[in-house]
């Protein structure tokens, strides 16, 4: 996904009261059929991935006029913030991150985006 592909509201709550991250695709990208197709594939892939280190998909509508995705909220620094505050990640941390995020998703993502 391109940088800045969505607006985010971190103050959302599920019907059960769970804190969620609400992401709405920017209008200029919502009109791009290629982007919409890729977003729909990403949503489908995200629905199949689960685990302690992933934010679950609560709901999504990739076919809405402004496609959206709601995931469980994971409190923490973004990767950019972590690097800004603490410097480059050690090689061991990058390899561990790849092992739990990239490698499992790569097998489930035929697009090769992950």
Neighbours of 80 (CB within 10 A): 8
First CA to last CA across the chain, in angstroms? 10
What secondary structure letter does DSSP report for 114? -
Q: Which domain holds residue 20?
A: 6-108
* pLDDT score at 40: 92
Note whether 48 and 109 are within 8 A (CB): no
Residue of 17 and 87 predicted with greater confidence: 87
* pLDDT score at 10: 56
Q: What is the CA radius of gyration of the chain?
A: 15
70 part of a folded domain? yes
Q: Based on the residue annotation, tell me whether 109 is a catalytic residue of this protein.
A: no
90 part of a folded domain? yes
pTM, 2 dp: 0.65
Map residue 41 onto helix, strand or coil: helix
Active-site option among 32, 61, 107, 109: 107
pLDDT value at 9 more than 90: no
What is the count of structural domains for the chain? 1
48 part of a folded domain? yes
């Amino acid at each position: 996904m391109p940088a800045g592909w969505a607006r985010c509201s971190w103050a959302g709550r599920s019907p059960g009261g769970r804190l969620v991250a609400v992401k709405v695709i920017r209008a200029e990208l919502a009109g791009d059929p290629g982007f919409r197709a890729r977003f729909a594939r990403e949503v489908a892939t995200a629905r199949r991935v689960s685990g302690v280190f992933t934010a679950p998909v609560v709901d999504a509508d990739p076919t809405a006029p402004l496609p959206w995705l709601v995931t469980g909220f994971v409190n923490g620094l973004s990767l950019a913030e972590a690097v800004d505050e603490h410097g480059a990640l050690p090689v061991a941390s990058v390899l561990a991150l790849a092992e739990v995020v990239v490698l499992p998703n790569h097998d489930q993502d035929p697009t090769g985006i992950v």
